[in-house]
Amino acid sequence: MKKLLILSFALLSLMACNKNKSGENPLLAEPENPYGIPAFDQIKLEHYMPAFEEAIRQQKAEVAAIINNQEEPTFQNTIEALDRCGGLLDRVNGVFFNVLEADGNDEMNEIAEQVSPMLSDLSDGIMLNDTLFQRVKAVYDKRESLGLDPEQMRLLTETYKSFVNNGAQLSAEQKARLMEINKELGLLSLKFGNNVVAETNAYQYFVKDEAELEGLPESAKAAAAEEAEAAGHKGEWLFTPKRTSFTPVLQYCKNRDLRKELLMAYTTRGNHGNANDNKDVIVKTMALRIEKAKLFGYENPADYILADCMAKDSKTVDKFLESVWTPSLEAAKREAAELQTMLDIDLPGEKLQPWDWWYYAEKLRAEKYNLNEEELKPYFELNNVRQGAFDLAHQLYGINFEKMDNMPVYNPEVEVFKVTEADGSLVGILYTDYFPRAGKRPGAWMNNILSQYIDANGVDHRPVIINVGNFNKPTKDNPSLLSMDDVETLFHEFGHALHGLLSKAHYKTLSGTNTPRDFVELPSQFMENYCYEPQIIRTYARHYQTGEVIPDSLIQKINNAGKFNQGFVTTELLSASILDMDYHELTSVEGLDVNKFEAASLEKMHMIPEIIVRYRSTFYNHIFTTGYEAGYYSYTWSAVLDADAFAAFKETGNILNPDVAKRFRHLLEQGGTRDAQELYLEFRGKEADPQYLLRRKGFIE
């Protein structure tokens, strides 16, 4: 999966102006548009540091006012006040970190390195302030007598837990050490991510002889030729470790050496012993995470992290992963044997290798199902697919999407959409940014620029949400054409966007995607189900040249092949989840050698050598930069939920059933205002059944 969601910093509300007085910092100015859209066209590098400094100063003053309040602590003057403070910093964070991730540069990286310890100090100064904690505790201790509604009770409980989980009950000496740890972890996270981007951008492989590209589709060759020309190598073909560049080579190129070259370039990023090597960063990160967990009385980081998730502890996660791992590995072994048979025909005596899997899987798919990805791509033009996702949201939830031209954007490739209810009232604003660039990190994700919340005057501030991807850029001859996997990615991230857009929480702390990590992937993965349904495919799959709706014969092929290669897909994913857990169940880094540790982890799970773990340690951004540590399992955990949730529609005979859709929208609107398990039980009427997922993948009948 693609799917990156959580930033290392809270990306909450943002408002900025479109019109700005000369010399005024646009990050600090009040908005002059009704949507809170930031003035990207006016923001310059020199605006960021003064904005951060002023925003931090303001939040410190707001928190000091709560601490120094001589009145008895109440829900309103302490808990609500904390949720509502820091608005300016939320806005500055929302601009800076979104641009850093999607369109960053060396100068922004330097600013991030300066800002990270400042933000860490601010957070620790709040969470570790004993006077403030005693006010929070005083309200918490009398919570049952306060007459709070369920959402207020949830905010109070989560606020108290946040203070405890961030060190409020530690000794003075422990608090001082925790502050040092948090500061160091923030800088290490930045360094890890920057190293991955630098490694990705540094590698270029030029092919001079077109004969070496035998089998590669013309569209992929055209894209590689344009990249080479842009790099000053006209008449050659350029390939990089970006998925849009090397994936077609793995799937179609007969040149085995080239397949190996590019796959190894991708899977060894951050592991070359140079300035961008991440092995030492990993060891230092894990040492600090272990020390932090032990400060809180936990044996390992996993149990400390999971205490606030649906799974609750590492043993539950390990048991869950094992239950899915066994059938997926067995399926992968059967698939490997089938691919080996095909390899034996081409290269007798050779052993199937990771760089052979995609190539022979594609040949086998064509042989078994008469289905070729290149045959599908002309029907999956990016704008049509996005419109299909919009149309689906309209059918399910009654909302509408309208493109907004001439809005400020941080890059010309970004587009903006206004989202409204049927009566015209505002739901929110959606930004989309779909193409790779040098300053963008790999993967796909959703973030908030402005979170939804209701202020003290009862005004509902609607969200500004962004979907980011790394899909194929248009070429001179063709628009952006997606693979079926890309289509799934777009629908996935759009599901996250709907979770943020439809939020109806009172408090920003609880709105949108502020849920347990092993629940947050449910809305996104739920949407993936629809992109394969025939009645939905017909709404977005139209030939980019003729406008012809995709033929039923191709739809049938897609569905016939739906369970194809699922052993590989699931094993690749689960191996990364298990590797994540192995790291975070460590109790010491003594003698930790990253490469040996990873190899031992894969050997322990009996990983077959024909498959490489989805994210090798040194470019595993999910667990070392984006807040998914001891949490990558959540994609599979949520897959059980999403398969079960989609079954609620299927069982009615109508995948757009309005009554079921109304219940699911209610789940989306709640954000983190209620217990995740309680929300799901209310929607489904029962606990999720794993059998739906196993059947969908073809692991059981």
Active site residues: 493
Residues paired with residue 402 on neighbouring β-strands, in sequence order: 418
- C-beta of residue 604 within 8 angstroms of C-beta of residue 340: no
Which of 500, 70, 146 lies closest to 155, judged by CA? 146
- C-beta of residue 480 within 8 angstroms of C-beta of residue 381: yes
For residue 452, the 8-state DSSP code is -
Q: What are 348's two structure tokens?
A: 């007798």
- C-beta of residue 265 within 8 angstroms of C-beta of residue 203: yes
What are the residues whose beta carbons fall under 8 Å from the beta carbon of 518, sequence distance 6 or more? 309, 310, 311, 631, 633, 634, 637, 638
- C-beta of residue 408 within 8 angstroms of C-beta of residue 16: no
- C-beta of residue 509 within 8 angstroms of C-beta of residue 409: no
Cα Rg of the chain (Å, integer)? 25
Measured between alpha carbons, how far is 499 from 671 in angstroms, rounded to an integer?
7
Measured between alpha carbons, how far is 336 from 608 in angstroms, rounded to an integer?
9
- C-beta of residue 189 within 8 angstroms of C-beta of residue 625: yes
From the number of C-beta atoms within 10 Å of its C-beta (0-12, 13-18, 19+), residue 61 rates as exposed
- C-beta of residue 481 within 8 angstroms of C-beta of residue 380: yes
Residue type at position 547: G
Report the Cα–Cα distance between both ends of the chain, in Å, rounded. Answer: 25
Measured between alpha carbons, how far is 500 from 482 in angstroms, rounded to an integer?
25
Reported for 277-282, long-range contacts at CB under 8 A and 24+ positions apart, including other chains, are 277/195, 277/618, 278/192, 278/195, 278/196, 278/617, 278/618, 278/619, 278/624, 279/594, 279/595, 279/617, 279/618, 281/188, 281/191, 281/192, 281/195, 281/624, 282/192, 282/583, 282/594, 282/617, 282/618, 282/624
CA angle (543 as vertex; 542, 548 as ends), nearest 5: 70
For residue 30, the 8-state DSSP code is P
Kindly report the backbone phi and psi dihedral angles of residue 606, in degrees, each rounded to the nearest multiple of 5, phi listed first: 60, 40
Spell out the alpha helix ranges (H) of 483-615: 484-501, 517-520, 522-528, 534-540, 552-560, 566-584, 594-604
What are the residues whose beta carbons fall under 8 Å from the beta carbon of 139, sequence distance 6 or more? 73, 74, 75, 78, 79, 146, 156
Q: Are strands 426-433 and 464-468 parallel, antiparallel or unpaired?
A: parallel
Q: What are 381's two structure tokens?
A: 């033009």
For residue 551, the 8-state DSSP code is P
Residue type at position 252: Y
